[in-house]
Chain A
Amino acid sequence: MFDHIQAFYQPNSIREAVRLLRRGGRQARIVAGGTDLVVEGNRSIRFLVDVTRLGLDYIRQDRKGLVVGATATMASLVHSPKIRALADGILATAASTCGSVQVRNMATVGGNLASASPAADTATPLLVLDAMVVLAGPRGRSKVLLEKFFTGPRKTLLNGALLVEIAIPALSRGLRTGWSYQKLGRIETDIAVVNVAAGLCLDRAGRCAWARIALGAVGPTPMRAHKAEALLAGQMLTQESVDRVGDTVMQQVRPIDDLRASAEYRREMSRVLVRRALAECAARAGCSL
C-alpha cells in the first residue's frame, strides 16, 4: 500500500527534521505512531520524516507547569504519575480511552493534536487546562494557545512546522478545583460521539471563581464553550445554573451527521455530558449540587 514512499528519513535533531520537511514540501509528512497516517493511506506522500528518534517522549515538570513531549505515547500518559495527578487525572483518563492497548502503545499526543480530528481524545482536556503548543519551523520556534492551533477539521496552524511539545501551565496553589472527562462512544475506546472536559474552581464562599468547558466531535474543531463558562463565573453552583449551562452549550455546538451519530443526537448529548461533567467537577471540588 505504501509503495509510493520514496524515502524514510530518521533525523536525530529537530533542526534536521524541519529541514527535511521543508525540502519535501507537500510530498513530505511527519510520522510518529503511524496510527492515523497509515490508516489515511494518502498516496500523494513521497517522503516520511520519522520524529520518534528526537527524544521528544518526555513528560516533565518545570517552574511553569508540565511539559509533555510531542511523541509521548498515550500509554505513557496513562501511566505517568505526573499526568495522573494533574487535574483529577483527566488527561490520563482521556488517553486511556484512545483506542486499543496496541494503539495506545503507538499513538502519540502530538499526533493526536496535529491530526486535528474534531473528536481527538486528548484535545478537550488540554483545552480546559489552557495548554500551549510549541512549534518548530524554518524560522524558529513559536508557542500558541492550543485553542488557536485548530483551524478546521484536520486543519491546524502547523503549515510545515513540527509540533515539539505541549506546555500545561501550573494552577495556582491552594485553589479548590474539580475536573472531569466524559466520553460517549459505542464502546469506550471507540472514536467519540461526543467528548467533554470540564474544570471548576470554587472560592472560599463556595462560589464558582471560574469554569472551563471543552467539547469534541460537535463542531469543526475541538472547542471551548466560553459563553457557557461565563454563566457560572461568580455564581453559586446549583442544579439550575448547571442546567442553564447545558442549554447554552447545546446552542453553541455545531455538530454534523455522520456514521457514528446524528447531529441532533450529538447536540442533545452535549448537554447531557456537560451536566454530568460539571456535577463530577463539583463533587471533586467538595461541593454538592
Chain B
Amino acid sequence: MKSLQIRMMVNGETKDWSIAPGDLLLDVLRREGYFGVKRGCETGECGACTVLVNGRAVNSCLMFAAQAQGCEILTIEGVARGDALDPIQEAFLDHGAVQCGFCTPGMILNAKALLDQNPNPNEEEVRELLAGNFCRCTGYKKPVEAVLAAAQASRQKPWKSAPGARARTR
C-alpha cells in the first residue's frame, strides 16, 4: 500500500498530509487534531461528522480523504474568529440549543452552509436541513429557533468572516 500526499486548505491554513488510500476524511481530520469533527454513526446518518467542503456540507465519514485534494475544508474549529463567535454559535448559546454538545458542530456547520446560500430560510427549510443532524439529548426545537434567530441577526448585521471562514461562492 502506497501512501498519498494530499494538500488541502483547512480553516484557511494550507495542510500537506500523508494519507493511506483508504483513509476517510473523518479519520484524517481527527488524526490531525480536529476533534470538533465527531465520529458518530459512520454510515452518513447522524451528521455529527459534518464539515464544509468548498462551502457544501458533507458527511466526512463517507468521503475519502483523497477526494479532498485541493479542496477548502471548514471544521467547527474555524468558524469563530478568535474570541468572536459566529452569529450561529451565539444563537445556539442564547437559545440553550446545546446540551451534551456532540451534535452541535455538525448542526452549526450545516446551518452555516444553508445561511451562506439562503440568508432567509423559513422554519420548514431549517427543519428539513437539520434532518441530517441527529440530536439524542434535547431535540430540535431550540436548534431550529437558534438557526432562525441567527439568520435574522445576520440580516441585520452582516457578519464579516475570518479569512478562510468566509462565505464561499460556488
Contact = CB atoms under 8 A, between A and B. Distances in A.
Interface of A: 1-8, 10, 31, 33-35, 38-39, 48, 50, 52, 75, 99-103, 105-106, 187, 189
A106 B56 CA distance: 9
Interface of B: 1-2, 4, 20-24, 42-45, 47, 50, 56-59, 61-64, 66-67, 69, 110, 113-114, 128-129, 131-133
A50 B59 contact: no
A289 B159 CA distance: 53
Chain A CB within 10 A, most for which of B50, B67, B69, B114: B67
A8 B68 CA distance: 12
A99 B62 CA distance: 13
Contact of B22 (A4, A101, A103): A4
A177 B114 CA distance: 34
A106 B59 contact: yes
23 contacts: A1-B24, A6-B2, A10-B66, A10-B69, A31-B64, A33-B62, A34-B64, A38-B61, A38-B64, A39-B62, A50-B64, A99-B44, A100-B45, A100-B59, A100-B133, A101-B57, A102-B50, A102-B110, A103-B44, A105-B56, A106-B58, A106-B62, A189-B131
Given A7-B21, A39-B43, A189-B131, A103 B64 contact: no
A173 to B, nearest CB: 33
B59 A103 contact: yes
Contacts of A2: 20, 22-24, 64
Contacts of B58: 102, 105-106
B44 to A, nearest CB: 6
Contacts of A7: 1-2, 21
Contacts of B23: 2
Given A10-B69, A100-B131, A101-B129, A106 B47 contact: no
Chain B CB within 10 A, most for which of A31, A48, A106, A189: A106
A103 B22 CA distance: 20
A28 to B, nearest CB: 12
Contacts, number: 94
A102 B21 contact: no
A202 B92 CA distance: 53
Given A2-B23, A4-B22, A100-B47, A34 B56 contact: no
A8 B62 contact: no
B109 to A, nearest CB: 10
A50 B69 CA distance: 12
Nearest to B70: A53
Nearest to A47: B21
A34 B69 CA distance: 15
A237 B57 CA distance: 45
Given A39-B43, A102-B47, A103-B132, A34 B63 contact: yes
A75 B114 CA distance: 12
Contacts of A33: 62
A48 B43 contact: no
A52 B62 CA distance: 14
Given A2-B23, A39-B43, A39-B44, A101 B67 contact: no
Contacts of B42: 1
Contacts of B44: 35, 38-39, 99-100, 102-103
A48 B50 contact: no
The 8 closest A-B pairs by CB, nearest first: A100-B132, A2-B22, A5-B22, A8-B21, A8-B66, A105-B56, A102-B59, A38-B62
